[in-house]
Structure 1
Amino acid sequence: MRFVADSSLGRLAKWLRLLGFDTVVQALPSTPARLPPPVSGTVYLTRRAAWQGSLREDVLVLKNNDPERQLAELGQRFALHRQSGRAFSRCAECNEPLLPLDRGTALELVPDHVFFTQEQFFQCPACRRVYWPGSHLNRIITKIKEMYPDRGRLLLPPGNFRKGVPYGH
């Protein structure tokens, strides 16, 4: 599943990327009639009230301002827990799939304390941002489980998060 989020939904887009969904942010046209023809698996997301009456199946007008509640709306409409997103496999900033990064290369790119406490590193090939399964990962996992108490575990991959498994490599 691929999401195209209106430019006002950047924080929601970041959450979707963390869950492994291909999500781009762009300015959408003033009406859904100006969207390109539907593409299988692509969903347009907006908060524009003017789009509320759209009959297109590939458009979702979100009601909430809060990104976590928006994510819950998406989860209800599209059963995200059944979709193919691989949590923590995409760059949260630019959406590119992450690649494994050689530990020796990471030495020059991360703070010393991170290098000496982590075993695995991943890098975005586009923006060069470096990721590792640190304590922030546990906070994100906890938040996802809070947002989806009955299905949060289904959005997350099985395995030992401390060993980089959530990155899908």
Structure 2
Amino acid sequence: MRSKLEPLARLFPMGWPWSNEAMGAACAAALSALTAFALFVYRFGSAVDDLYTYAPVSWERELIPGAMVPPYPQVLGGAFLFFAATALALALLPIAHFLFHRQGARSDYLMRRLPQRRELARRCLGGSALLLAGTVLAAAMLFGLFFICYLTFTPVGCLPPDVWATTGG
């Protein structure tokens, strides 16, 4: 029975375990997302907790007057470092694809003589580019989601003066 993902095999070298590579990239992206989520929740929770103090008599939390939450990039910190490592690994993967073509009967030479001249480049770069785009898209979506959480869950009046400028916008 054919898989729905079978057309993706044309983006990888023939004989290459492309499904293992795609699954590995998906697992690395999921691990990166979980790590980024955990780091953001921890740092943002600590930043919001620092805005409060406890009343001496009733032990209720009170907002410290004039307290500000740190800027968004500072709260985010290095939460996306695992995404960067995954992207670097996926960017270096075309080298392995090209070296895979060079072993044995040197199919890279044959592929350069095909009527589709760009077949070698497509098979070396296509799959990695697709997986890299998915990883970058996942990181961008999490960045936006974390920013929405930062704006939503920060107490009123505790945001820095120009929030959007601190994100690079």
TM over 0.5, yes or no?
A: no
User: Larger % of strand: which?
Assistant: 1
TM-score range, shorter chain: under 0.3
Q: Please, what TM-score do these two structures have when normalized by structure 2?
A: 0.27
Q: Please, what TM-score do these two structures have when normalized by structure 1?
A: 0.27
User: Larger % of helix: which?
Assistant: 2
Q: Which has the larger radius of gyration?
A: 2
